[in-house]
Structures are given as C-alpha cells and as structure tokens.
Structure 1
Amino acid sequence: MPYLGSEDVVKELKKALCNPHIQADRLRYRNVIQRVIRMSKLDQWGQAEVLNFLLRYQPRSEEELFDILNLLDSFLKSSSPGVVMGATKLFLILAKQFPHVQTDVLVRVKGPLLAACSSESRELCFAALCHVRQILRSLPGHFSSHYKKFFCSYSEPHYIKLQKVEVLCELVNDENVQQVLEELRGYCTDVSADLAQAAIFAIGGIARTYTDQCVQILTELLGLRQEHITTVVVQTFRDLVWLCPQCTEAVCQALPGCEEIIQDGEGKQALIWLLGVHGERIPNAPYVFEDFVDNVKSETFPAVKMELLTALLRLFLSRPAECQDMLGRLLHYSIEEEKDMAVRDRGLFYYRLLLAGVEEVKRILCSPKSDPSLRLLEDQAEKPVNSWASDFNTLVPVYGKARWATICACQGTERRGPDLSNTASFATSGPLIPEENKERAQELPDSGALTLVPNHQLTAEYFEKTWLSLKVAHQQVVPWQGAVHPDTLQMALQSCCWSPRAWKCRSL
C-alpha cells in the first residue's frame, strides 16, 4: 500500500478496504484502518471520503471500538463541516450499542452545526437546519439554550426562515417562551404570506402548552384586520379549541367581525365550524349564518357549502327559533338548485334526517366538541438515534426517505439511459398477456414483453409503418353482442383495433 499522504491515497485506500484478502485478515485490516485514521496530509475532501469508507468496518470487540473512536476524535474538531459531519455519522454508527456515547457525540457536534446554520452558504445552512430538526426528534430541547441562533435574519430566503420557525417551535421552554413568542409575533406580519402563515401555526402549536399567552397574541393579530392573517388565525383557533377546551371562551369572544374579512375557502370553513359547534356562546352567530345563506348561490367552494349545512343544522339544535327559516331556505337550495352532487346529497341526507325527528339529529350530529386526548396522539414519541444514524450526513433529512429514494431511482435510470439498440422493436423480454390468460399463453409463441422507452420521439408515420409491418401473433374471436348503431361502430373502429367479430394483436 503506498504512502498515505500521496495524491492517490483515497483510491488506494478504497482498493485496500475492498480487497477480500485484506478483509479476511482481521489484524491486517485493522492495521490499515489505524494507519488511515492517523493520516494528516489529506485535504478535507479526502478526509471526508475516507471517513465514508470506514463505515464498512465492524470492530470485533468493545476495546477495539473505543480505540478507533479515540483515534477518530480529532476529526470532530475539524474546521471543515463535511469532515465533522462525516466523523459524526461514523461515531453514531460504530457506537450503535452505546446510546450514551451517541448523545455525547451529538453534544460535541452542536457547535459546528450551529455554525453551519449561520453560514453564508444558503445550501449548507438549509441542510444543517434539516439535520438539527432530525436530532431534535431524538433529543428534544437539545439546542434550547441556543434558541437565538435560530432567529431569522431579514436577508435570509424564505425557505430558510420556514425551517428556523419549525426549529423554534420545538425549542420552547419555560425560560425562553416569552422571547420566542415575541420573535414569532414579528414574523406574523412579514411581507411573505408563507412565513406569516408558518409563524401563526407555530404559535398555535406552542399554545397547546402555553395557552393563555398564545391566545392573547393570536387575538391581537385579528385586530390587524388583514385577510391572510385573519384566515390563518381562525384556522388555528379551530384546531386549538378542539385540543385545548379551556381556551374556548376566549376564542368565542374574539370571533365576531372575522366574517367581514375572510375570503379564503379554508378560512370560511374554519369560521363556520366554530360558529356551528360553539354558536350558543357567540351572540351574532345566527346573523353571520344568515349572510352566508343569502350569498350561498355565489359561493364558489363546495366544501364551504357542505360545512355550512352541517354547522347550521347544529346551531338549529341549540337556537331553533333563530335558525329555522334560514335552514329551510338552505336545504331547499341544496336539494333543488345546487349543481354539485356532493352538496346536494348532503342537503338531502339532512332533510331526511330531520324527518326522522330532532332526537335522531342530536344522536348523530351532537358529537363531542373537543378531545384533549388527541394531544397525546399528536405528540411524536422520541425516536432512537439508530433509527436515523445511517441517514445522517446525507440528503435524506432534506428530502425525506421516500422522496430521496424516488430521486435516486430516477437518477439511476438517467445514468443507464434507454436501450435504443433496436428502435424498430420495443418488445424485448416476455409475453404481455393478462394474468387470467396464462394457460392460453402457453399455447402462443413467445413474442416478448412490452418495454416502454422514456423520452423516445416517435412520429405518426413511423409508428403506422412499423405497426403495419408486424405479423399477426394471435387472433381471438369475440362473441357478437347484437345489433349496433352504425355511428357507434364507426367510432369504435376509429378509436381502437377492434373489428365486429374479432380483433388482432400484432407481434411487437
């Protein structure tokens, strides 16, 4: 093996580590590993590549494991983020049987990660934030003492700001809740509607623990009377009263006047749901519904109409005198004039339900108005580090496992490229016959399966010429179905390769 400081050290190292003779000799293999770890003349790219090679090594004993970790310790102090992340991944994987060692490593890598989150490189910053969120799934509050590092800067792009908002939401504790909420409150009026929406939803998430402070901030945001802010706040209130019933009274007091501002379909749905479920606490609820019913013909969102039907029927059960007339008008419109079949069916169902009696309506519609137990279901359990250690220092935290697997599969296909060696025939591998015709397929000659070639340009003239030149591989008789109108027959003949008595499958 050549001197480890030479230019070709990475290539030679890969050959050595992949050599089966060296792998079979554990002592020799270990010596190679130790010599590699002690090298100092490689640049940061070589060091990162070497650390990636070392992932395939499996220590034979605990003593050997800790010897290697001690030798790797200096890589955690590197000035290169790539080397630090590569060393961290190697530590996490080698120490998979020692959770306390993994935790210590993540504590040590906290500084380099925070530095990367403040990097001028937007790509590096975004990837580091995704890794921070991944660590927080196993170590909640791991970065809580450094929460100010995740405050947004004015010049940062919105996708980095959105990631920082998500991180801030996970770092809240008794010591920093006031500062974090004030920071998020500032984002709620940002020129970016996406950032404002994310900040409001983040405050709603924090409200499950610090309800009073968050509800006060959300109520004050309604005073701005801006459509996109009011819409998101009302949606947040809808989720909040379901999970935290103790804030219902404050939310009901804040709702009057919102109907004049909201134009978005999702915002209308949230407001209508609140008015229907908690309408007995909101004095002007029937009058708001009356405006919705009067303008139902001009409503463009079918989901809003369906929510209006349910909410008005619920309010009718608690305030019948004020809702009877408008409920009748809404049901008449839904059944007789509405063109959307889902809305019509909903109205018809409620009409028949009312015919069955009020008690039957109450039995079906009067469900619980809140369910605090869902908070326990929504709280994600802490994931062990080993569940994501192999994904550390990759793009999986950025894209997610499923999407990254799809990207890798597509890239593999692009590298191989389509096989166009025989452009006259796209049939290369096995019969294209339905499962139910397998027995009959044994009697047929092997014509090859159909293989689709992506991005292949095929003119109509070439296709027609090729199709007509193919021989008939199979002819199947179809029973005659009786008299057919000539126009129908002509249309069928133009759209497919059927004939009145048989169809022919040409061999590709």
Structure 2
Amino acid sequence: MLWQLLQKFKTIVSDLSLRLLVTRSRSCLLLLMSADALSRYKAADAREAENIVERVTPRLQHANCAVVLSAVKMILQQMELITSTDVVRNLCKKMAPPLVTLLSAEPEIQYVALRNINLIVQRRPTILAHEIKVFFCKYNDPIYVKMEKLDIMIKLASDRNIDQVLLEFKEYATEVDVDFVRKAVRAIGRCAIKLERAAERCISVLLELIKIKVNYVVQEAIIVIKDIFRRYPNTYESIIATLCESLDTLDEPEAKASMIWIIGEYAERIDNADELLESFLESFPEEPAQVQLQLLTATVKLFLKKPTEGPQQMIQVVLNNATVETDNPDLRDRAYIYWRLLSTDPEAAKDIVLAEKPVISDDSNLLDSSLLDELLANIATLSSVYHKPPETFVTRVKATAQKTEDDEYAEGSEAGYPESSAHSADGPTSPPASSSNDAHVGATRPAPAPSTSPPAAPVPDLMGDLLGISNNSIVPVDQPSTPPLPVLLPASTGQGLQISAQLKGQDGQIFYSLLFENNSQIPLGWIHDPV
C-alpha cells in the first residue's frame, strides 16, 4: 500500500514538474516574442525611449539567457535616442551584472554570450570596462571560449588595465595548445598597436617570450613585432639585434617574410644586412611565393641603400631567378618592374621603393558601422553569433511575374468554371453535369485575349534537387491523365490495406500524394488488443 502511494506521489510530482516546465517555456517564449515585436518599434523621442527602457530593465534579472540578451538588445536600441548622459551611465551599470552572470553558465551558453558581448563592447565598451577580470581564461575553459575571451580582452584593454592584461597574455603564451599560444602572442602585439603608451611594455613582454626559445612562440613574436615597427617607425629598432639571433629557427613562411621585411626596411642600420639576406637567397627557388616576393623587395631596398659590390651581385642573382627561373607571374612582373626602374632611373626607383609607407592602425573593431548596427539589432539570434547579417542564412525567392488574364481565368476555373473556353468553334458548349457547377450554368465568359508578355522564367526547384529528383520526374497535379501512383504497401502485406504515394509538383512546390485503398471485405479501423 505504501509503495503504491509513493508511486502515485512520484507521478503527481513529475506531472507538476512537467507542467511548470511547460509554463516556464511558454512564458519565456511570450517574452521573447514581445521583445522582438518591441524591438521593431522606434520611439518618438527621448522621453518615450526612457519609458520603454524602464519597463524592459526588470527583464535583465530573468533566469532565461535569451530573455536577458533580448532585454539588452532593447536597451541598446533605445539608448541611441536618450540624450541624458546620467541615464545612459546608469543603464550601462545595470547591464554589466547580467552579462557577467551569463559567463557562469555552461560553455555553450558562454560562447553565445561572448559572441554577443563582442558586438556590445564595440559599440559601448564602457559597459564592461571595469569587468575585464571576468574574461580571464580558466584552465578548464574549452578552446572556443578561450579564443573569444582573448578577443574581448583586446577590445577592453586600456592604459588603466594593460598591466593585468599583459600578465595574463604572458601566462597564456606558455600553455600547451599551440593555436591558443599563437593568438595570445598576437594579442600582445595588437595591444601595442592599440595603446601607444603601452607599446614599450608590450615589446618587453615579447622579448621575454623570445628568450624562452620555443620555436612557434619566437616566430609569432617576430610577426607581431614587424607590425609594431610599421605602427611606430624609427622607434624600437634597438631590438633588431635580438631578433636576428633567431634567424636559424625560422621555418614558417609568414615569419620568414616578416624577418626579411625588417632586414630590408632597416638595412642601413644593420651592419651585416647583406649576409643575412644572402642566407635566405640560397633557398630562393624552393621558398613560397610570399617569401620570394618579400626577398625580392628587400634585396632591392638593400641595393638602393647600400650600392656596394656585394648588393650589386645579390640583385643580379635575385632578378635572374625571379624572371627566368620562376613560373609565378606576380613575382616575374614585380622583378621586371624593378629591373626597368633600376636600369633607367635609379633615383625614381629610390623614390618609389623607399617611399614613406602609411602607418597601420588598430584592427580591434573590424566590423563596418552599418553591419555592426544590423548585428546589434539582431542580438540573441544566429546572426549575432556568426557575426553575419540575417540575409546570409535566410534567402527568400520572390516571384516577379505578374498575373495575366490567363492566370485569373485559370483561378476562376478552379473555383467552379470549366477549364475549356465557354465558346467552342461550333458554338457555345454546355458545362458538365455536375452538382458543384450548377451555380455557374448561366455564367459564361469570353475567351481571354492571348497574352503578349513573354513567359516567366522557371524558378529553380531547390527542393527537387535536395531530394535527388528533377522537375521532369515530378508529375504535375493538374495533368489530365494522371498515371497510377506507385504502390508502397501492397494489400497482401498490409492485411488488405494498400498504400500508394508519389511526389508531385504544383506551382513550383513539392507535394506528397497519398492513396489508401481497402481491398478487403471488411471495414478497416483501429486494432485493439483483446482485454
């Protein structure tokens, strides 16, 4: 008896839990739908925007992550109309804790939250400017979460917190995952490009990593130092000697090309620049195109800066290899241009090759302003996770052909008019004797004039291709003599029930026609097991 009561109580509790779960799901769905509808509404003025924000703000404390993100989206949209700086500052403070709370959920939810936060900090970095510690990577974070946290930390890095950020990046550069280490080293270089006052501290950290003598760390450090040289020309050239000590360890094309660019760009400050470039020339034919192009330009720079006997012989060898012994058209064309410049007007070649280069800028915020606005308007959707506009995922094919009189007449025939014309060659024809058409016996229509517009181009049948069938294999629904449907379940197997089915096409859409036949002598119904 007690066991039966416990089982009944368990059933009641399970039923209540299920009902609560369904109720909660319905309430979340209603909230999301209302938020989506409200996001399409544009407030008339700042006062109305503040009223909307006041009613949406309590949803920031909701337990459902999608509801929280939708509320954040609504507040961000209305903040564009609010003119009071105090109100905007208070709203930024209110949005920070809910976003931080999302990072304590499961890794999959963390990733979705981080992708949305990545967009938010590009428009409103002050929201999480004081919460950068929550983006520090944990030892058990999945790699995709770590990569997103690194990207957000770069965007939130400032002169106030750069020391903490650099300590974290330096720690990450000693991890086991090679891709994560490379991105951490590259993040140090991006911080140096972004923050001019912190560039020297970033370079010091990079030099410390180079001294570790880990191959992929050294090569990634050289790549980012090249970008730092381009951002701050003639500022940190004193570290070139340290970089040249690692020439023997370079085996990646991008790292080689970066080191060759540094040698050619500062050839006048490197005493043995010709010897360093000559060590790369030994394997010129086997090098990738990226290295060959950079080696050709660096050798020309060296010759223009130091027109001595050594560089003259080097330039002849490089130009000969780049024009005669290569099949790369880009390399060959650039070599011919250099050759003609050097042979006709060396001064013009010096002005062109050694011209002042544009300074690179911070690339932390890569998204275009219009695209960022569109993505922020689609927060908590697939668009904000992939950082792509909604049109990338949903394509709608709109029919451009207008209705003709023939189409209208065909619709009238489906509604009850006969498909043939109301007048034949011998005279008017009588409608078929059918009870459904009795109401239209006296109604006759003149034959429509032939349409002069060309027939519309057929819309490609994507569903047919997806199912592995073509338009020719689909039997139209309105075909006069319809062949019998293929039998899927014969009567012998189905105990008298025969099922036939076939895919059919109508107006560019796919339909599945089913036919059930009772070939037995008794009516078929539900089969109940005997009690």
Question: Partners in 2 of 1:61 and 1:334 — Cα distance?
Answer: 65
Instruction: Tell me whether 1:219 sits opposite 2:207 in the alignment.
Output: yes
- Give the partner amino acid of 2:466: N
CA 452–186 in structure 1, closer or farther in 2 if over 3 Å, else same: same
Instruction: Provide the secondary structure at the position in 2 that maps to 1:196.
Output: helix
Preserved contact between residue 375 and residue 383 of structure 2 (Cα < 8 Å): no
Preserved contact between residue 95 and residue 102 of structure 1 (Cα < 8 Å): yes
CA 57–398 in structure 1, closer or farther in 2 if over 3 Å, else same: closer
The worse-fitting range, judged by mean Cα deviation, of 304-313 and 165-174 is 165-174
Picking from 383, 398, 411, the partner of 2:385 is 398
**Corresponding residue for 2:276?**
288
- CA RMSD across the alignment: 3.7
Picking from 93, 101, 123, the partner of 1:115 is 101
Instruction: Tell me whether 1:199 sits opposite 2:184 in the alignment.
Output: yes
- Give the partner amino acid of 1:166: D
Instruction: Provide the secondary structure at the position in 2 that maps to 1:133.
Output: helix
**Corresponding residue for 2:342?**
354
Preserved contact between residue 154 and residue 364 of structure 2 (Cα < 8 Å): no
Instruction: Tell me whether 1:309 sits opposite 2:296 in the alignment.
Output: yes
Instruction: Tell me whether 1:457 sits opposite 2:444 in the alignment.
Output: no
- Give the partner amino acid of 1:275: I
- Give the partner amino acid of 1:90: M
> C-alpha offsets along residues 314-351 of structure 1, whole Å, 9 cap, x if unaligned?
01112232312122112222222222232222222222
The worse-fitting range, judged by mean Cα deviation, of 96-105 and 213-222 is 96-105
Deviation at 1:313, TM superposition (A): 0.8
Picking from 156, 166, 172, the partner of 2:157 is 172
Deviation at 1:259, TM superposition (A): 2.0
Taking the TM superposition and a 5 Å limit, the aligned residue runs for 1:311-460 are 311-321=298-308, 322-368=310-356, 371-372=358-359, 374-375=360-361, 389-402=376-389, 404-409=390-395, 446=455, 448-449=457-458, 451=460, 453=462, 454-455=465-466, 457=468
**Corresponding residue for 1:15?**
none
> C-alpha offsets along residues 243-291 of structure 1, whole Å, 9 cap, x if unaligned?
1125332342322123211111111111111111112222332112111
Tell me which protein shows more helix as a share of its residues: 1
Preserved contact between residue 102 and residue 110 of structure 2 (Cα < 8 Å): yes
Question: Partners in 1 of 2:367 and 2:285 — Cα distance?
Answer: 47
Taking the TM superposition and a 5 Å limit, the aligned residue runs for 1:128-207 are 128-207=113-192
What is the TM-score when the length of structure 2 is the normalising length? 0.65
**Corresponding residue for 1:51?**
35
Question: Partners in 2 of 1:326 and 1:40 — Cα distance?
Answer: 76
Paired residue total? 392
Preserved contact between residue 46 and residue 83 of structure 2 (Cα < 8 Å): no
What is the TM-score when the length of structure 1 is the normalising length? 0.68
**Corresponding residue for 2:233?**
245
Question: Partners in 1 of 2:337 and 2:65 — Cα distance?
Answer: 62
The worse-fitting range, judged by mean Cα deviation, of 247-256 and 159-168 is 247-256
Question: Partners in 1 of 2:47 and 2:278 — Cα distance?
Answer: 77
Question: Partners in 2 of 1:59 and 1:289 — Cα distance?
Answer: 64
Q: Is there any run of 5+ residues in structure 2 with no aligned partner, and where?
A: 1-17, 399-450, 474-531
Question: Partners in 2 of 1:280 and 1:76 — Cα distance?
Answer: 60
Deviation at 1:242, TM superposition (A): 1.0
The worse-fitting range, judged by mean Cα deviation, of 286-295 and 238-247 is 238-247
> C-alpha offsets along residues 9-30 of structure 1, whole Å, 9 cap, x if unaligned?
xxxxxxxxxxxxxxxxxxxxxx
Between 1 and 2, higher relative CO (CA 8 Å, sep ≥ 6) is seen in 1
Question: Partners in 1 of 2:66 and 2:257 — Cα distance?
Answer: 47
Identical residues among aligned pairs (%): 25
Question: Partners in 1 of 2:286 and 2:376 — Cα distance?
Answer: 54
CA 444–136 in structure 1, closer or farther in 2 if over 3 Å, else same: closer
Question: Partners in 1 of 2:167 and 2:134 — Cα distance?
Answer: 15
Instruction: Provide the secondary structure at the position in 2 that maps to 1:401.
Output: coil
CA 311–98 in structure 1, closer or farther in 2 if over 3 Å, else same: same
The worse-fitting range, judged by mean Cα deviation, of 90-99 and 138-147 is 90-99
Picking from 54, 63, 67, the partner of 1:83 is 67
Deviation at 1:194, TM superposition (A): 2.0
Question: Partners in 2 of 1:97 and 1:400 — Cα distance?
Answer: 24
> C-alpha offsets along residues 176-209 of structure 1, whole Å, 9 cap, x if unaligned?
2111101001112322222122211211111132
Question: Partners in 2 of 1:317 and 1:61 — Cα distance?
Answer: 64
Taking the TM superposition and a 5 Å limit, the aligned residue runs for 1:467-486 are none
Question: Partners in 2 of 1:41 and 1:444 — Cα distance?
Answer: 52
**Corresponding residue for 1:22?**
none
Preserved contact between residue 226 and residue 261 of structure 1 (Cα < 8 Å): no
**Corresponding residue for 2:249?**
261
Question: Partners in 1 of 2:40 and 2:339 — Cα distance?
Answer: 68
Instruction: Provide the secondary structure at the position in 1 that maps to 2:123.
Output: coil
Instruction: Provide the secondary structure at the position in 2 that maps to 1:393.
Output: coil
**Corresponding residue for 2:529?**
none
Question: Partners in 1 of 2:294 and 2:43 — Cα distance?
Answer: 62
CA 56–351 in structure 1, closer or farther in 2 if over 3 Å, else same: closer
**Corresponding residue for 2:417?**
none
Preserved contact between residue 138 and residue 382 of structure 1 (Cα < 8 Å): no
Question: Partners in 1 of 2:71 and 2:365 — Cα distance?
Answer: 31
Preserved contact between residue 155 and residue 364 of structure 2 (Cα < 8 Å): no
Preserved contact between residue 277 and residue 299 of structure 2 (Cα < 8 Å): yes
Question: Partners in 1 of 2:353 and 2:379 — Cα distance?
Answer: 48
Deviation at 1:366, TM superposition (A): 1.1
CA 324–391 in structure 1, closer or farther in 2 if over 3 Å, else same: same
Question: Partners in 2 of 1:139 and 1:343 — Cα distance?
Answer: 45
Question: Partners in 2 of 1:255 and 1:449 — Cα distance?
Answer: 64
- Give the partner amino acid of 2:67: V
Question: Partners in 1 of 2:267 and 2:72 — Cα distance?
Answer: 55
Preserved contact between residue 306 and residue 343 of structure 1 (Cα < 8 Å): yes
Query: Based on CA coordinates, which of the two structures has the bigger radius of gyration?
Result: 2
- Give the partner amino acid of 1:345: D
- Give the partner amino acid of 1:359: E
Preserved contact between residue 99 and residue 113 of structure 2 (Cα < 8 Å): yes
- Give the partner amino acid of 1:153: K
Instruction: Provide the secondary structure at the position in 2 that maps to 1:308.
Output: helix
Q: Is there any run of 5+ residues in structure 1 with no aligned partner, and where?
A: 1-6, 9-38, 417-441, 464-508
Preserved contact between residue 125 and residue 160 of structure 1 (Cα < 8 Å): yes
Taking the TM superposition and a 5 Å limit, the aligned residue runs for 1:53-72 are 53-55=37-39, 69-72=53-56
- Give the partner amino acid of 1:89: K
Runs of 4+ in structure 1 over 6 Å off: 39-42, 58-64, 376-387, 442-445
CA 187–371 in structure 1, closer or farther in 2 if over 3 Å, else same: same
Deviation at 1:64, TM superposition (A): 6.3
